[in-house]
Amino acid sequence: MCDADKRVKDVVARTLKVDRARVTDQARFVQDLGATSLKSIELMAAFEEEFDIEMDEEAALGVKTVEGAVAFIGAMLKGS
């Protein structure tokens, strides 16, 4: 598990207030982890703060899984 992967999963668990063990690569934010639309916005803000990045809201909200978030953030970090 790379550093970004661990940090994304920690942020997800903390923001959505779910057990860290439930935050798997395939976990879907809404269906598996119970993210509401408000929690999705909070999650995006938490990712921005954790990684010191600015995310495109529409693109970020299109990410549906933890694995997708890791890839999305990883791509942003490489591009910065």
pLDDT per position as a tens digit, 29-75: 999 999 999 999 999 999 999 999 999 999 998 999 999 999 999 99
Say if residue 1's pLDDT is above 70. no
* Residue 11 pLDDT greater than 80, yes or no: yes
Can you spell out the DSSP letters for 10-24? Answer: HHHHHHHT--GGG--
The 8-class DSSP code of residue 30 comes to T
* Separation between Cα atoms, residue 32 and residue 50, nearest integer Å: 23
65 - beta bridge partners? 28
H/E stretch holding 71: helix 66-79
Instruction: Compute the C-alpha angle 69/49/24, nearest 5°.
Output: 30
Q: Which fold has domain 3-79?
A: 1.10.1200
Per-residue pLDDT, 80: 64
